[in-house]
Structure 1
Amino acid sequence: MATSSLVSFPCLSSPKAKFKPMAALSKSSTTYELKKGQNRLYHKLPSGLKMEVIEQRKEKNEKRRSEKEKENPPLVFVHGSYHAAWCWAEHWLPFFSSSGFDSYAISLLAQGESDEPLGTVAGTLETHASDIANFIESNLSSSLPPVLIGHSFGGLIVQYYLANISNKQPLVTDATNAYPDLSGAVLVCSVPPSGNSGLVLRYLFSKPVAAFKVTLSLAAKRFQTSIPLCRETFFSSAMDDHLVQRYQDLMKESSRMPLFDLKKLNASLPVPKPKEYSKKVMVLGAKDDFIVDDEGLKETGRFYEVEPVCIEGVAHDMMLDCSWEKGAEVLLYWLSKPTNLSA
């Protein structure tokens, strides 16, 4: 793997940035080492804070060029709690860039190498979605509208983004501009539109032992110190200890603040129902998901009026699991069908 230097990578700056920074960059003690073909960029938000973006452009392919292959939309990946851009950079960014897609993985504020805002939490659904929109507006406006892909709580942020496109809501940082358009959206093991309260209640009544483990692992952060609990929470049982340890260490470094205030978040849910919705949505789940149950997956599918795709043999962290290619290949097939993306 190529060694990265934070100083040597360029920043992507928004011409609309006009506010003083709300906090300084707080770097993690261990910087994720990029793979061949990847770049670490820093997108400057209107607040002055910088947001880490790991970029991997599509590989040049003489055969595709000679066949004048149609242009693919860029892919923008959004992580969930305790993760950052690195979780996509391990496998899915190389996979999709080699398949002809420019790919960008974002670290939300106070995650990965992104700046920390003032306060005790990284943001809200509104601010996180607005930050993503600002990145897309500033850097991807010359290409086809992107496909936005969100995992876990990142999927809930993508759902908020979708609602604001169709309901024509302005960006929180700029009252004159609406959210940039998308070619489609993919929700990977996503928290459903109503939030995680229903998941927790169902576990309490139907799987009390699992409910205790989830609470111990996530709320008490025991996944950070227990290899077996980390594996059970995020990965398949076949995942090797050394890989669980690697990702456990990266998760410890990833989140310096919680993504949300969960009480305030749950009080604001469900996400708004999109009006005159025309964006194509894929709902992708994992059969062995320890966090999002089957009913949570079905709820998301019903909300967007699509049939969820549930993949056997993978767990919650589908993009990092030992069978990560299963989800990647299903998503690539969906992306390759012209009818699955908005014109």
Structure 2
Amino acid sequence: MIEGLEVFSCLPAKKTNRPPVLFVHGAFAGGWMWTETFMPFLAKAGYPCYALSLRGHGGSAGIDQIDWHSINDFVADVNTVVNWLGTPPVLVGHSMGGFVVQKYLEHHQVPGAALVCSVPPQGLIAAQFHLMFQKPQLFMDINSIMSGNYPDTEILKEALFAGEIDPTMLAAWLDRMQPESHRALWDMSMFNLPNLHAMHRPPMLILGAELDVLVPAFLVQATAHTYGLPVHIFRNMGHAVTHEKEWPLVAAMLRDWLNDITP
């Protein structure tokens, strides 16, 4: 625990000169979402890997006040862990975590930032309307998650995955899901969007998933356009690319990008 924040680590077998990588999870999740796939994959490639659970998430303090936590609070949590690391890490953010990374860049510099199925800098509203019109029942089910009422595994599968999913993994994911901060979701919708003019622009990697129903591929493409960068959309994958059957393809692209931007 670092000042009340749960932090997972996965380190290379031998010490290297590569920068640390800090993973930031998405909504309804925690640092655990990185521990089984991306972290050991990148640690094997020589990168010290860390993942925090933002306040109110996973094993971190603050679950009783989850609805009051803001995006700025989550940015402060990232900064707490960065300060503890002592070396500026490459940031990797998934979904809401990608939004937090963009907000972090308003005031801080890092060696690189990867946005994976990230909420775009324009916010959540377009994604919410797209889901409401394309999959109205799923839209309602996700709202129920916010209130602490969890859907069955089939609904979760529809929301997060596109390919064949191991039932044990799916059940474990459902068991660890939790309510999300309404305040943070409002921040991402309209009240605290990234200030593009204030942001530091390190090397950035922008990745999305073709069959993502929560942050559709066209919004990931919009993010890339905003930053003037290329984008890679992984075919036949859903929002939770960390646990899709073909997740090593995503991790390998992240590894290759890290190799390109770091000594």
The aligned residue for residue 85 of structure 2 is: 140
In structure 2, do the counterparts of structure 1 residues 264 and 88 end up closer, same or farther at CA, with 3 Å as the change threshold?
closer
Structure 1, unmatched stretches of 5+, are 1-41, 45-49, 166-180
Q: Distance in 1 between matches of 2:68 and 2:61?
A: 10
Change (3 A) 1:313 1:326: farther
Q: Distance in 1 between matches of 2:190 and 2:144?
A: 22
Quick one: structure 1 residues 71 and 243, their matched pair in 2 at CA, closer, same or farther if it must change by over 3 Å?
Answer: same
The separation in 1 between residues aligned to 2:99 and 2:207, in whole angstroms, is 13
Corresponding residue for residue 107 of structure 2: 164
Compute the displacement of 1:267 (Å). Answer: 3.2
Residue 177 of structure 1: aligned partner: none
Highest RCO, 1 vs 2 (Cα 8 Å, sep ≥ 6): 2
Match of 2:59 among 108, 113, 135: 113
AA in 1 matched with 2:170? V
Structure 1 residues 115 and 277: alpha-carbon distance in aligned structure 2, compared to 1, 3 A threshold: closer
**Distance across 1 between alignment mates of 2:163 and 2:81:** 37
Q: Give the aligned partner of residue 193 of structure 1.
A: 121
Q: CA deviation at 1:96?
A: 0.9
Task: Note if contact 2:89-2:111 (Cα within 8 Å) is conserved in structure 1.
Answer: yes
In the TM superposition, residue 247 of structure 1 has moved relative to its aligned partner by 1.3
How far 1:195 moved relative to its partner?
A: 1.3
User: How many aligned residue pairs are there?
Assistant: 261
284, 290, 309: which one aligns with 2:207: 284
1 CA distance for matches of 2:186 and 2:101?
Answer: 20
Which structure has greater helix proportion?
Answer: 2
Distance 1:110 1:295 in 2: 31
State the alpha-carbon separation in 1 of the partners of residues 163 and 244 from structure 2: 10
Between the aligned partners of 2:221 and 2:123, the Cα distance in structure 1 is 13
CA distance in structure 2 between the aligned counterparts of 1:120 and 1:292, rounded to whole angstroms: 23
Q: 1:329 to 1:121 in 2, by over 3 A?
A: same
| Cα 1:300/1:276, change in 2 over 3 Å | closer
Offset of residue 274 of structure 1: 3.7
1:214 aligns with one of 109, 125, 138 = 138
Separation of aligned partners in 2, 1:280 and 1:331: 12
Query: Is contact 2:159–2:213 with CA below 8 Å preserved after alignment?
Result: yes
Q: TM-score, normalised by structure 2?
A: 0.91
1:13 paired residue number: none
Name the CA shift for 1:331/1:216 in 2 (closer, same or farther; >3 Å): same
Q: Please say if residues 81 and 259 of structure 1, whose CA atoms lie closer than 8 Å, have aligned partners that are also in contact.
A: no
Shift of the alpha carbon at 1:233? Answer: 0.6
Is the CA contact (8 Å cut-off) linking 1:217 and 1:230 kept in structure 2? no
Q: Which moved more, 1:318-327 or 1:257-266?
A: 257-266
- Structure whose alpha-carbon radius of gyration is higher: 1
Whether the aligned pair in 2 keeps the contact of 1:223 and 1:229 (CA below 8 Å) is no
Structure 2 residue identity aligned to 1:155: G
Equivalent residue, structure 1, for 2:43: 97
- Pick from 155, 169, 172 the counterpart of residue 246 of structure 1: 172
Question: 1:15-30 residue pairs with structure 2 within 5 A?
Answer: none
2:77 is aligned with 1:131: yes
- Letter paired with 1:125: I
Note the aligned Cα RMSD (angstroms).
2.2
Rate the CA distance shift 1:125–1:55 in 2: closer, same or farther, 3 A: same
Change (3 A) 1:270 1:261: closer
SS at match of 1:316: coil
Deviation at 1:232, TM superposition (A): 1.0
Counterpart-to-counterpart distance in 2, 1:295 and 1:121: 29
Task: Indicate the SS of the match to 2:115.
Answer: strand
Using the aligned pairs only, state the percent identity: 25
Shift of 1:188: 0.5
TM-score normalised by structure 1 residue count: 0.70
Match status 1:52 vs 2:6: yes
